[in-house]
Chains A and B, each alone.
Chain A
Amino acid sequence: MTASTSSSPVAAVRAPRGIPWVLLLLAAAVAITFLAKGYVLFQATMVLSYAIALVGLNLLTGYNGQISLGHGAFYAIGAYTVGILVEHGGVPYWLCVPAAAVICLAVGYAFGRPALKLSGLYLALATFALGVVTPQLLKYKHLEAWTGGVGGIVLIKPEAPFGLPLSADQWFYLFSLATTVVMFLIARNLIDGGTGRAIRAIRDHHMAAESMGVDNSHYKSMTFGASAAFTGVGGALSALAVQFVSPDSFTMFLSISLLVGVVVGGVGTLWGALFGAVFIMFVPGLAEKVSKDLAWGVYGVVLIVFIFVMPGGVMGLIARLRARRLANAPGASP
């Protein structure tokens, strides 16, 4: 009998085995700050903001089974919170990001409560409508004094504090990286603990979960709120990175992008968010080079192909490869 500490071959990245990979990734991420030019740093920052947003959506849809086709709305709320607080309140940027999280938590919970009665398809419908309506709501003329209407709000990327020898791009990238690490840690804690088990139990069989003492109403609405908070933080970071918020950045297609990211990365996985974020950041650009109008068509085809061929996304593929490798390794039981 081997004395190894490994669990089942299909285990997700779990301490202590996964830690070297994580540290390597972190070191590479920090190295990018000094090796890359301004525009690449901007793209990396956007990848991080999408990754946080995707963690949020995955928390709701992957781990809790509530389908949301309108998460772009929460991304927009996070972004506009930053815009409004900076523009009209003079709040420093590092306070705006947690503020965006809190506001999105409240809005998400408020949406999640009536959504308790909706399941599956009907929730997808309601959130689809939310996603379509978001730009219209942002353009509403009675809110123009705050939101800047169609023109939106212009922001300025913050400079490095304490006179550090970093450019604004570099500093904000490191800030986003730190935020991403914190959000991932929070998510990991949430998912691995009792809350995460409750959330997944609701996804797998909500009636059995309820009869085992899991308060469905509480967990489902809190998950909605938490998911919205994560996505809002992503939106907040993106607002500062792009230095501009406007209603037309947050159309239905943003919600669809987030969905694509979750499906590509792996539904119900944490690290899938990174793969998904890289995908939705770079693939539209590549697709546009092939054909300007068909860029979105590529998304659609990718969605359908992934569902048929790789329903577990990239993380699912990695898990399958790892399982196969461990099954074929010498010394493994037949």
Chain B
Amino acid sequence: MNNEYAIKIKDLYFAYNGNEILKGLNLNVPVGELFGIIGPNGSGKSTVLKILTRLLRSYSGRVEILGRSLDSYKHMELARKIAIVPQEFILDFDFSVEEVIEFGRNPHMKRFQTPSKDDRQTIEEAIETTHLGDLRGRPITALSGGEKQRVILAQALAQKPELLLLDEPTTHLDVAFQIEIMEIIKQLNAKANITVLAVLHDLNLASQFLNSIALMDSGSIRNCGSVGEVLTRENIERVFGIDVKVSRNPHTGKIWITPLSAGFFPENKKKNIRVHLICGGGSGTDLMIDMYGYGFSLSVGVLNALDSDFETAISLGIPIVDEEPFSPISDEKYACNLEMIDRADIVLLADVIFGPGNLKNLQSALAAVGRGKRTVIICSTDITKKDFTRGAAEQIYEELKKSGATIFDNKQECMNYLLSIDDRPN
């Protein structure tokens, strides 16, 4: 096949019961691509797949598959070109795994024909690719969801398609099966040169496995391009209406998207309160993401560079007082931290463990109380269990308690308290 495009869609319109679902959709998927469509529920992603497999026919616009108009294909012919893996499938009759996979040969077989050598070989390849060798004789009804999904993938592969469509194929699967299925598909794309068009829900799965992405919203494509071009904070906010943090996964180098909670509740936006957070070792990450989502103005310190809380603060763009990695807090940084505290309305001390290196952070909380700052402490266990300074931390902590700091024993109560504070200017 010398066609440039596996799929070429121009001005596609489709309405169902009077609702316009696709509104002038344009999409080109080059041959050999690992291509994805993402978008919110109801944006019309699955409708596109249904049109491509001719379950829906009353569309208007031009749809070309491998250089030919979709309508020009005969039924059997189309099933030899396009195979689809659905979200899930239900088969209540106990066919063996192998029989179900053999159904995929249907478009290649004549009536009354028993599977030829060629058919058998294709089925064997499909079984091998999907690691189903051990399950081939098992009844399909006895399989788990993940195993069934591999069987339906194998059935699609038995069709020997040039174009493989995936309709959220991993929605009902646990993380291990999700990765397995996507790995198989990636290899198929690379080795067998099958063009893949996947509708996915999970943005991170999409960025991890796909080359190009089309972002769909209310019936048309909004952005189309490489993963990095499409999965930006602005695009995602515009289409999904949530605020996200876009970073790189340190292990894979792929784009990693973290939804920030509560961002879509506008009434919570822009809390007019400045909070200075004292944390470290991961104790502040959740708090930062939550408070960021609720719209608090944040600052944080003192944190060692490379600390996980440090990474979070950096990616959220929160001002930091930072110290060299793995070094004790210097007097200079301690002073900087006190300056930050002066500018804050509230000082929040997270559930941190104290050693000689960060004891100054505890002292700065005490100093904050001394300067008349409202100081809030989260402490889920007895202080002695968090104290690795031979009692120095415990001593300061007791003083903090006496001096009128508010203490909560869990994060949620603390958040509720912070949210209940009236932020209107007096």
Report if A and B associate in a common complex: no
Binding site for B on A (CB under 8 A): none
Residues of B within 8 A of A (CB): none
